[in-house]
Structure 1
Amino acid sequence: MMMMQLLGLLLLGGGCCLAQTPQPCTCPPLMSGQMTVSTQNEALWASAKFFYDSVGQRYRLQQTGIMKNKTFTMDVLLLFKEHTVYTIDEAKRTCIKSFLKDSFHPMEIPKDSTLLGQVVVGSSSTPGEGLLVNTWTGEFTGGVKFMATVTEFGCIPVNAVYHTPNYGWLVHSYFNNVKGIQDPGKLIPPPYCPTAEVEIGQKPVDFFSLFL
């Protein structure tokens, strides 16, 4: 009898958890992983490693891809507190310094976002075969509309679609995400970078323009 009562309480508790409405969330403050980026007009496709630090407001992208049928590589370090972007060439040990006009926006689902739905990616038939995710839609400051999917547990990004007034649709897909950063040095400018100066006449850049 006691065992049946305990089982009933467990089932009731599980039902309550499943019945809870998903809430907007913030991704881990330190995270690294890989991502792909593509545009609506197929002009750009890229694969990148990323290193993300919301505490220090730093972000690094090391990507390779194809832009208008031409291959490219790019390594950029964004320091939002300093309003600075370093375009790094480790092989040549050179840096190009640019002014970053964007403010830092953490990887998160804003509180005023709208939940589109919760689904299982893969299969729910057997434990380990599926991933429970939530899909949200909304708009960031500056008129950037988005639709993003994150995991129900941990708020880990899965994919995101952005529409910007200047660049149209951008699609980001994330994989191999890891909480934390194994090599913190990736978010520190190399010794040859701080001496670089912003070139005269160089236009300020924003986050999305770095992909184009």
Structure 2
Amino acid sequence: MMLFIVLTCFLAGCLAQKPHPCSSPPLLSGDLTVTTQNEKLSTYAKYLYDALGQRVRVMELGTFENKSFTYDALLLYREGAMYEINEHDRTCKKKPLKEDFHPMAIPKDASLMGQVVLGSSSEPGQGLLVNTWTGDLPDKAGKFISTVTEFGCVPVTTVYHTEKFGWMVTSLFNNVLGIPEPDRLNPPGFCLDAEMKVEEQTDFLSLFINKP
């Protein structure tokens, strides 16, 4: 009887550990890189992510077709606007943001590809347990493969395909729970008088692929 109870508890523990689709923390900040299959684009960025207020800021430094660029964008989904910010010149462009806010999460219809340990599982603290999922991008725009931590659902990498660049790989690191500089998720004072350029619509993906 005791053996049956032990086996039942063991099986229950295994089932409890089965990965499930999850949502990332609503307030995140950190660093990310984006690279493309055709090697036209490579960028490093600092990001701020606020799912509660539906705000995202990305501050990039990268190369596009062997030319260096910097780019600073604030996306305010509830306002339906994106601000291109140049703090050096204290200038700002305001454009319509045409897409809905999509929180960082593994959709419920995603399929689990596997669970692995990054690093080593030989000693405590030497590895990171992660889950890799695959599924459809919003609006059936293509497929994605995303890896998140088992504990906390913190994003690690996402791979997706675009017609312009082929496969794109986004890697997130130095992630911090919370927003150390919350004022950066509001338009700077010199942006308050910026007029909306209705003819120039944008979306989140354009932060990385629509470079001049």
Q: Same fold (TM over 0.5)?
A: yes
Return the match for 2:55 from 44, 58, 70.
58
The runs of at least 4 consecutive aligned structure 1 residues that moved more than 6 Å come to none
1:191 aligns with 2:189: yes
Quote the residue 1:25 is aligned against. Answer: 22
Shift of 1:166: 5.6
Deviates more, 1:117-126 or 1:141-150: 141-150
- Alignment CA distance shift 1:133-1:45 (3 Å): same
Q: Residues 127, 65 of structure 1: CA spacing in aligned structure 2 closer, same or farther, 3 A cutoff?
A: same
CA distance in structure 1 between the partners assigned to 2:162 and 2:192 by the alignment = 31
1:176 to 135, 152, 174: 174
Question: Counterparts in 2 of 1:16-165, with a 5 A limit?
Answer: 16-19=12-15, 20-142=17-139, 143-165=141-163
Aligned equivalents of 1:72, 1:14: Cα separation in 2: 55
Provide closer, same or farther for how the CA distance between residues 17 and 131 of structure 1 changes in structure 2, counting only shifts above 3 A: farther
Q: Is the 8 A contact 2:61 2:71 kept in 1?
A: yes
The amino acid that maps onto 1:191 is: G
- Specify the code of the residue in structure 2 equivalent to 1:104: F
How far, CA to CA, are the matches of 1:179 and 1:63 in structure 2? 20
SS in 2 for 1:82: coil
**What is the RMSD of the two structures over their aligned residues, measured on CA atoms?**
1.9
Partners of 1:177 and 1:198 in 2: how far apart?
32
- Residue deviations 1:91-114 (CA, integer Å, cap 9, x gap): 111101111111100000000000
Distance 1:199 1:32, change over 3 A: same
Cα-to-partner distance string for 1:68-113 (whole Å, 9 max, x where unaligned): 0000000000001111110101111110111111110000000000
Aligned-pair CA distance for 1:169: 2.2
Structure 1: state its 5+ residue gaps: none
CA distance in 2, matches of 1:165, 1:32: 29
1:194, distance to aligned residue in structure 2 (A): 2.1
Where structure 2 has 5 or more consecutive residues not aligned to the other structure, the ranges are none
Change over 3 Å in CA distance of 1:67–1:16 after alignment to 2 = same
Q: How many pairs were matched up?
A: 204
Instruction: Note closer, same or farther for the CA distance 1:92–1:115 as it changes in structure 2 (3 Å cut).
Output: same
Q: Is the 8 A contact 2:40 2:165 kept in 1?
A: no
Q: Judging changes above 3 Å, is the alpha-carbon distance between structure 1 residues 74 and 14 closer, same or farther for their aligned structure 2 residues?
A: farther
